[in-house]
C-alpha cells in the first residue's frame, strides 16, 4: 500500500499529501494505473480523518495526477499523455484563486459527520414513521418531533414538556419568530453590546430599535441593564448566556438570577439563545430562562452540535405565548420541513446527539489548546470547549485593517465592528473560529500565519 513520506509540517496536511503523491509519481515510485489506498486505509495509517484524505485526493485530481472511478477506487494517471507537445506554444498556467482558510463561520467540526449521519438517513427512510414526514405538519410540529425536541431540551431544562415546544427551521428562524411574535415595530429590543450579527440584521429588518447593553467578562452587566430600563421601556432582551458570541463569556448563576429579576421588575421578555449551551464548562448552571420561566422563551438548535445543514430549532415557551409563536411560524414558513425534523428526532432518540457532542467538545478542547499556545502573548478570551476565540490586537492595529490583511494572506476572520449592536467606533478585536479547518495541523498553520501578521507593523502594508 502506498504511504506518503511527509516532510515537517509547513502547510495544511491535505496539501502535503498531494505534494508527496506528485513527488512519488515524478520519481517513479507510483506508475500509471497504480491504485491508491482507500480513504479509510490511508486515514488510519496517517492518523488523520477520512475527510483530510478526501481533500488530498481531490487536490491530486485537480492537478490531473489521479482519476477516481466509482466502485473501483482512485488510480494514477499517465502523466506523459498530459504533457504538451514540444512544438506547441507555451500556455500560461491558470492557477485560479488561492484557497482561503475560513476562520469566520462558527460551525461544528465536520470531518466525521457524514459517517455518523449516513446510517441515520438510511434508518429514517426505512422507518415505519417515514410516511408522516411526507405530509403537512400540525401547528408547532408533529407531537413526536416535539417530544424529541423536549428530550434534547432536558439536557438543560429537566422538566421540559413537549406541549411547550415549537419547532422552527433553525435558530435564526427561531429568533425571527420570537422577535416578530412578541414585539412590534418601534419596540425597544436589548442585547449585548457585542452580539451575533444575525440579531442586528434581524432587528433592523423588523424595524425594532436595538440597543446594546454594556458587558464585562460575564456578559451583560446588571447595573447597566437597570439604568437602561429606568430610562426606557424595553420589550425584549436577547441574550446568549453561555459561550457568548463573540466574547465567549459565560454568565455565573448569580448573574443569571440578577438578569431574570430585572425582567420581572421591568416587565420585559427574555429570549434566551442557548445555542452553545452544550459547550458549558459547568453543566449544572441552569439556563437563563430557568430563572424567569413565565417571561422567557428558550431557543436552541442542532446546527452547532450536530450539523449545520440540519436546519431544526426548538423554542420552549410558557403556555401563554405558545399561540403567538406557532402562528408566526405558520406565517413565515408555514411549517419547518417534517423530513428534517424526523431526521433530527432520530438523531436525538438514538443517542447520536450525545456521541457527537462528545466528539465536538473533545475536538474544541484540542483546538483551544493550540490557540492558547500560539497567542500566548496576546489578550485572548475563550472557554475550554468554545468553538471560537475573541482576540484583542495590539496597537496600532484596528480590527478592520487586520481583517483585510488576513484575507489578502489567505485567512478569513471577522472584524469586531461587525458585532457592535450600535456602531460605536474603532475596535481592536477580531473573532477567530477554530473548528472549520479540516485538521488541527491546518488550524495551527492558519493561526501561526495570523500571529506572524500581528507581530508585524501594520504601517508597512499601506
Whether residue 263 sits in one domain with residue 333? yes
Residue 87 lies in a domain: no
Give the per-residue pLDDT at 306: 84
Summarize the confidence of residues 78-84 as an average pLDDT: 55
Report if residue 94 sits inside a domain: no
Based on the domain organization, do 138 and 257 belong to the same domain? yes
List CB contacts of 202: < 8 A, sequence separation 6 or more.
Answer: 172, 175, 176, 179
Measured distance CA(82)–CA(57) in Å, rounded: 18
pTM: 0.79
Buried b (16+ CB within 10 A) or exposed e, 131-170: eebeeebeebbbeebbbbbbbbbebbbeebebebbbbbbb
Asked whether the beta carbons of 238 and 187 are under 8 A apart, the reply is: no
Lowest mean pLDDT among 229-238, 285-294, 338-347: 338-347
Domain CATH for 313: 3.40.640.10
**Do 335 and 387 have their domain in common?**
no
What is the C-alpha to C-alpha distance for residues 327 and 139, in angstroms, rounded to an integer? 8
The pLDDT, as a whole number, for residue 10 is 53
Residue 436 has pLDDT above 50, yes or no: yes
What are phi and psi for residue 317, nearest 5 degrees? -125, 150
Same structural domain, 335 and 377? no
Boundary residue ending a domain (318, 352, 386): 352
Assigned domain for 6 exists: no
Tell me the DSSP string of 152-175.
Answer: HHTTT-TT--GGGEEEESSHHHHH
- Asked whether residue 380 falls in the same domain as residue 328, the answer is no
Residue 1 included in any domain: no
Peptide bond into 246 cis (omega under 30): yes
Q: In terms of Cα–Cα distance, which of 111, 112, 133, 110 is closest to 123?
A: 133
Phi, psi (rounded to 5 degrees) for 165: -95, 135
Mean pLDDT of the chain: 89
Judge if 260 and 389 occupy the same domain. Answer: no
Residues 155 and 230 in one domain: yes
- 225-256 pLDDT, tens digit per residue, is 999 999 999 999 999 999 999 999 999 999 99
Domain interval for residue 434: 101-110+354-460
Give yes or no for residue 90 having a pLDDT over 60. Answer: no
CATH number of the domain residue 390 falls in: 3.90.1150.10
Number of H helices, E strands in the chain: 14, 17
Is a pLDDT exceeding 60 seen at residue 86?
no
Give one DSSP letter per residue of 315-354, joined into a string: EE--HHHHHHHHHHHHHHHSS--HHHHHHHHHHHHTTHHH
Q: Find the mean pLDDT for residues 385-413.
A: 94
Q: Which three cell numbers stand for residue 222?
A: 446588571
Q: State how far the Cα of 36 lies from the Cα of 22, in Å rounded to an integer.
A: 13
Give the end of a domain, one of 314, 329, 352. Answer: 352
Q: Distance (Å, rounded) from C-alpha 314 to C-alpha 326?
A: 12
Say which residue, 334 or 85, is predicted with more confidence. 334
Looking at the fold, whether 51 and 123 belong to one and the same domain comes out as no
Q: Do 224 and 117 belong to one domain?
A: yes
Position 256 in a domain: yes
**Does residue 414 share a domain with residue 348?**
no
The domain tally of the chain equals 3
Task: Note whether 61 and 182 are same-domain residues.
Answer: no
Q: Do 186 and 261 belong together in one domain?
A: yes
Residues 54 and 439: their CA atoms lie apart, in Å, by: 12
Tell me, rounded to whole angstroms, the distance of Cα 110 from its chain centroid.
Answer: 10
Nine-digit cell string for 141 = 410540529
- Give me the half-sphere count of Cα atoms (radius 13 Å) on the Cβ side of residue 324: 14
Cα 23 to Cα 4, 32, 33, 313, 426: the distances in Å are: 9, 14, 16, 48, 48
Q: Are 425 and 437 in contact (CB under 8 A)?
A: no
Query: Exposed/middle/buried for 458, CB within 10 Å: 0-12, 13-18, 19+?
Result: middle
Min mean pLDDT across 192-196, 208-212, 283-287 is at 283-287
Amino acid at each position: 500500500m502506498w504511504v506518503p513520506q511527509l516532510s515537517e509540517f509547513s502547510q495544511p496536511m491535505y496539501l502535503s499529501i498531494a505534494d508527496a503523491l506528485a513527488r512519488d509519481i515524478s520519481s517513479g515510485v507510483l506508475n500509471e494505473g497504480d491504485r491508491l489506498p482507500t480513504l479509510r486505509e490511508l486515514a488510519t495509517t496517517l492518523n488523520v480523518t477520512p475527510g483530510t484524505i478526501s481533500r488530498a485526493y481531490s487536490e491530486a485530481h485537480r492537478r490531473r495526477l489521479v482519476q477516481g472511478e466509482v466502485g473501483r477506487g482512485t488510480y494514477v494517471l499517465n502523466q506523459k499523455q498530459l504533457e504538451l507537445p514540444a512544438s506547441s506554444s507555451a500556455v500560461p498556467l491558470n492557477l485560479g484563486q488561492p484557497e482561503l482558510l475560513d476562520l469566520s463561520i462558527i460551525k461544528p467540526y465536520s470531518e466525521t459527520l457524514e459517517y455518523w449521519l449516513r446510517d441515520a438517513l438510511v434508518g429514517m427512510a426505512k422507518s415505519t414513521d417515514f410516511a408522516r414526514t411526507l405530509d403537512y405538519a400540525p401547528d408547532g410540529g408533529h407531537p413526536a418531533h416535539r417530544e424529541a425536541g423536549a428530550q434534547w431540551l432536558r439536557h438543560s431544562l429537566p422538566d421540559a414538556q413537549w406541549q411547550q415546544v415549537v419547532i422552527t427551521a433553525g435558530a435564526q428562524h427561531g429568533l425571527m419568530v420570537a422577535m416578530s411574535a412578541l414585539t412590534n415595530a418601534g419596540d425597544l429590543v436589548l442585547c449585548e453590546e457585542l452580539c451575533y450579527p444575525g440579531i442586528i440584521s434581524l432587528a433592523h429588518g423588523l424595524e425594532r430599535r436595538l440597543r446594546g447593553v454594556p458587558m464585562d467578562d460575564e456578559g451583560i452587566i446588571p447595573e447597566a441593564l437597570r439604568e437602561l430600563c429606568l430610562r426606557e421601556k424595553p420589550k425584549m432582551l436577547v441574550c446568549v448566556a453561555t459561550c457568548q458570541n463573540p466574547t465567549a463569556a459565560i454568565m455565573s448563576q448569580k448573574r443569571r438570577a440578577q438578569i431574570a429579576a430585572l425582567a420581572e421588575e421591568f416587565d420585559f421578555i427574555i429570549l434566551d439563545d442557548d445555542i452553545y449551551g452544550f459547550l458549558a464548562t459547568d453543566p449544572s448552571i441552569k439556563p437563563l430562562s430557568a430563572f424567569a420561566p413565565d417571561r422567557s422563551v428558550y431557543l436552541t438548535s442542532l446546527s452547532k452540535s450536530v450539523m449545520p445543514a440540519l436546519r431544526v430549532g426548538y423554542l420552549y415557551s410558557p403556555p401563554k405565548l405558545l399561540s403567538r409563536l406557532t402562528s408566526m411560524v405558520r406565517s413565515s414558513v408555514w411549517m419547518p420541513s417534517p423530513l428534517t425534523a424526523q431526521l433530527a428526532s432520530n438523531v436525538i432518540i438514538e443517542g447520536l446527539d450525545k456521541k457527537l457532542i462528545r466528539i465536538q467538545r473533545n475536538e474544541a478542547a484540542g483546538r483551544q489548546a493550540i490557540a492558547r499556545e500560539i497567542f500566548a502573548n496576546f489578550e485572548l478570551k475563550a472557554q475550554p470547549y468554545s468553538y471560537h476565540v475573541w482576540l484583542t490586537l495590539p496597537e496600532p492595529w484596528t480590527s478592520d485593517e487586520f481583517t483585510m490583511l488576513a484575507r489578502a494572506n489567505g485567512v478569513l476572520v471577522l472584524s469586531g465592528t461587525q458585532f457592535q449592536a450600535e456602531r460605536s467606533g474603532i475596535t481592536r478585536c477580531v473573532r477567530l473560529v477554530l473548528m472549520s479547518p479540516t485538521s488541527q495541523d491546518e488550524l495551527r498553520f492558519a493561526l501561526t500565519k495570523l500571529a506572524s501578521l500581528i507581530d508585524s507593523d501594520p504601517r508597512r502594508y499601506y
